[in-house]
Amino acid sequence: MKRNAVLNRIGQVLERRRNALRRSVSEGLRSADAGASHPVGDEIDAASDAAHGELSWHLIEAESRELASIENALERLRNGEYGRCEECDGAIPAARLNALPYATLCIKCQREAEREPSGSGAAGDWSRVVDLSDVDVTPDPAELSA
């Protein structure tokens, strides 16, 4: 199958997933609003409702992030940029796009981004974090006037 046909097929998958996520986020928001307004029975019910509500908000947040990634991918598809790495402009393999249709980086660039502390989605380099809790960080007046 030609690359353009593969990209168009993936675009259709993205559109279906976008529509499903829109429905899910909308239903989740309606459900969260409805849950916040109903009366609570006792402390156990309140704790259960709070835990359920927090879990629902985390799910809505995750779905919203995925939805934003899909919208970005569909925009790139419309602009003819879909399937190209945002970093090196190389072609993203079809196998990667099948696995993660909203991927914006090729595997090599994604690995590099994950290694960099400032890379998007990178966890960061915690070995460079310094505890300054016992350090006086009050500026020296002489340094300020210099």
Lowest mean pLDDT among 5-9, 90-94, 129-133: 129-133
Q: Does the pTM of the predicted model rise above 0.85?
A: no
Does residue 55 surpass a pLDDT of 70?
yes
Residue 81: the pLDDT is 92
Burial-class residue 64 by CB neighbours within 10 Å (0-12, 13-18, 19+): middle
- Tell me the torsion sign for CA atoms 130, 132, 136, 138: positive
**Segments of 27-112 assigned E as strands:** none
Residue 121: the pLDDT is 47
Residue 86: the pLDDT is 94
Does residue 112 surpass a pLDDT of 90?
yes
Q: Residue 13's pLDDT band (boundaries 50, 70, 90)?
A: very high
Average pLDDT over residues 53-59: 80
Average pLDDT over residues 13-37: 82
Residue 1: the pLDDT is 67
Mean of the per-residue pLDDT values of the chain = 78
Contact of 99 with 88, CB cutoff 8 Å:
no
Does residue 74 surpass a pLDDT of 90?
yes
User: At which residue do the structure tokens 């593969």 appear?
Assistant: 6
Contact of 52 with 35, CB cutoff 8 Å:
yes
Does residue 92 surpass a pLDDT of 90?
yes
Task: State the Cα angle at 121 between 120 and 123, rounded to 5°.
Answer: 115
What are the C-alpha distances in Å from 6 to residues 3, 80, 85, 117? 5, 14, 16, 34
